[in-house]
Homo-oligomer: A and B are copies of this chain.
Amino acid sequence: MPIEHAPFSKAEYDRRIAKTRKAMAAAGIDVLFVTDPSNQAWLTGYDGWSFYVHQGVILGMEGEPIWWGRHMDALGGLRTCWMSKDNIRGYADHYVQSTIRHPMQDLAGHIRAFGLDAARIGVEMENYYYSAKAHDVLGKELPDATLVDATALVNWQRLIKSDEEIAFIRKAARISEKIVQTAIDRAAPGVRKNDLVADIFHAGITGVGDDWGDYPAIVPLTPSGLDATAAHLTWNGAPMKKGEATFFELSGCYRRYHAPLCRTVYLGTPPQEMRDAEQAQIEGISAGLEAARAGNRTSDIANAFLDVLARHGIEREGRMGYPIGLSYPPDWGERTASIRTEDKTILQPGMVFHFMPALWMDSWGLETTETILIIENGPAEALCNVERKLFVKD
Which residues of A does B touch, CB under 8 Å? 47-52, 71-73, 75-76, 78-80, 92-94, 96-98, 123, 125-136, 149, 151, 192-195, 197-199, 201-207, 210-215, 218-219, 221, 226-227, 229-237, 317-319, 322, 329-331, 333, 335, 338, 340, 342, 360
Enumerate chain B residues within 8 angstroms of A75, measured Cβ to Cβ.
Answer: 229-231, 360
| Distance between Cα atoms of A322 and B98 in the complex (Å) | 11
Q: How many copies does the complex hold?
A: 2
Say yes or no: A136 contacts B128, CB within 8 Å.
no
> Which residue from B73, B97, B214, B218 sits with its C-beta under 8 Å from A234?
B214
Enumerate chain B residues within 8 angstroms of A230, measured Cβ to Cβ.
Answer: 48, 72-73, 75-76, 78-79
CB within 8 Å for A194 and B218 given contacts A128-B131, A201-B201, A230-B48: no
Say yes or no: B197 contacts A205, CB within 8 Å.
yes
Enumerate chain B residues within 8 angstroms of A71, measured Cβ to Cβ.
Answer: 318
What is the minimal beta-carbon distance from A236 to any residue of chain B, in angstroms? 6
CB within 8 Å for A126 and B130 given contacts A227-B79, A232-B48, A342-B94: no
The residue on B at minimum CB distance from A195 is: B206
Enumerate chain B residues within 8 angstroms of A234, measured Cβ to Cβ.
Answer: 47-49, 214-215
Given contact pairs A76-B232, A212-B237, enumerate 7 new A-B contacts (beta carbons under 8 Å).
Answer: A48-B234, A72-B360, A96-B338, A130-B131, A131-B131, A198-B205, A201-B205
| Distance between Cα atoms of A71 and B212 in the complex (Å) | 37
> Which residue from B132, B195, B232 sits with its C-beta under 8 Å from A50?
B232
Say yes or no: A79 contacts B226, CB within 8 Å.
yes
The residue on B at minimum CB distance from A331 is: B52
> Which residue from B72, B231, B329 sits with its C-beta under 8 Å from A329?
B329
| Distance between Cα atoms of A75 and B361 in the complex (Å) | 11
Say yes or no: B125 contacts A136, CB within 8 Å.
yes
What is the minimal beta-carbon distance from A36 to any residue of chain B, in angstroms? 11
What is the minimal beta-carbon distance from A103 to any residue of chain B, in angstroms? 11
| Distance between Cα atoms of A210 and B195 in the complex (Å) | 11
CB within 8 Å for A96 and B319 given contacts A202-B201, A331-B52: yes
The residue on B at minimum CB distance from A210 is: B237
3 nearest CB pairs, A to B: A212-B237, A93-B318, A76-B230
Say yes or no: B128 contacts A132, CB within 8 Å.
no
